[in-house]
Structure 1
């Protein structure tokens, strides 16, 4: 697909989607939202892809909304504002529900809506020089569309603080509150992401997909008889799947499973 705001590269079972508007600190606009939605749908349906990295070119990962786009929105009607917000919401949901595991490689500062992009990914790795900020209230706005993902990622207490204060915080704080999984020296960022990708593409593609869905479906759910029955059914189904049977046989035979051939 032709894209003006992103680049897409592939290497083996890995696809890398790179935000590519460094002149505006990779701030997003209507075009980049549409392209992100489309590319994640395409990669989610591509059986050759087992992992996706969301990266960025330039000094910043993503500065949130593009200023020129925000100027346009100032003149929108209520209906136009709602339609625009729904496009952003659908883009975030598409990344979050992508059946392939998504790793955010955060090499530079990440503000406002950019934090929504990171939070929608499954695993985030940041350079230890990165700063984060949920700056919306400074502009008289709120981080509403990104809130389902950011609150899940950092927890309610941290979200309450940073939504209300718009304080800037560093990668070590992002790690402490659980917003990122790792904070590493900038020079080690590529290596850290590559290690995660290697683990992801080495596992059963079907099991990874179902494990991701398991977290989404079960996380926070009360432990009821219905939930116990559902989880028992899920493991029974995957044990009987082709990859489930192959994985167990390969383990017992002390050989590599077929998906690594």
Structure 2
């Protein structure tokens, strides 16, 4: 049997930990990982014993974006299946963004593509000094539409436009400056800082937190409607299935520059 792509655990305080668990591939997400998040996040939301959620990455990296083989298969799939694959990403990010309990991410190593989406969707994002970031989808002919609204909410339109369009990589201090993460700490200090923040959160009313999170999103138009989910999903699969999407993914697999470079 293969190990689960997301490992779930809960401590005696009710703090759940979801560990992205494909370390050999930098925790690159595929359909199985997304399904595990789509199934697991609502379950945690419905459990009154759960007080918060921490997302981590197993191994050397937090989350290095999408699995290129999964993306390539989705690019070659019939429209209905291609739409379903993009919907998995859009839905997983929506559920995390709208999770009614406090959410945290501890980011180390690579945090690319969907990994930056996770950082945008949690309430508190901490990074180590060794973290590296990039919204790199455009480099392989793919559009980051499933995470685009969350990027704008977290970083503002100006920063989201720059990094989503250029695909540049940047370090943790820049990630903090633009609002992608809240704090940067040495690897040996980040866990203690997380514990301080979680301890502070546990002094707060769970019901009040839930209403506060919902109000912040809905009163500011930041919760996705069904129409928006469909629009973002369609934009994603259509670009990926296009000529440049297929060329970019092929170039990445073949370790060469794409035709447009």
Q: CA deviation at 1:129?
A: 1.4
State the alpha-carbon separation in 2 of the partners of residues 198 and 109 from structure 1. Answer: 27
The match for 1:180 is 181
Q: Is the counterpart of residue 219 in structure 1 residue 247 in structure 2?
A: no
The match for 2:103 is 102
The match for 1:62 is 63
Q: CA deviation at 1:220?
A: 6.7
Contact 1:137/1:164 (<8 A) preserved: yes
Question: What are the residue-to-residue correspondences of 1:52-91 with 2, within 5 Å?
Answer: 52-91=53-92
Contact 2:116/2:180 (<8 A) preserved: no
The match for 1:117 is 118
Question: What are the residue-to-residue correspondences of 1:11-50 with 2, within 5 Å?
Answer: 11=11, 12-50=13-51
Deviates more, 1:157-166 or 1:209-218: 209-218
State the alpha-carbon separation in 2 of the partners of residues 128 and 219 from structure 1. Answer: 33
Contact 2:173/2:184 (<8 A) preserved: yes
Q: CA deviation at 1:164?
A: 1.2
Higher relative contact order (CA 8 A, sep 6+): 2
State the alpha-carbon separation in 1 of the partners of residues 6 and 164 from structure 2. Answer: 28
The match for 1:4 is 4
Task: Provide the TM-score with structure 2 as the length reference.
Answer: 0.81
Contact 2:34/2:92 (<8 A) preserved: yes
The match for 1:168 is 169
Paired residue total: 220
The Cα RMSD (Å) is 1.6
- Cα distance per residue 1:120-142 (max 9 Å; x no partner): 11111111211100111111121
Contact 2:53/2:103 (<8 A) preserved: yes
- Consecutive unaligned residues of structure 1, counting only runs of 5 or more, are 222-261
Q: CA deviation at 1:214?
A: 2.0
Q: CA deviation at 1:180?
A: 0.6
Q: CA deviation at 1:3?
A: 6.8
- Consecutive unaligned residues of structure 2, counting only runs of 5 or more, are 223-261
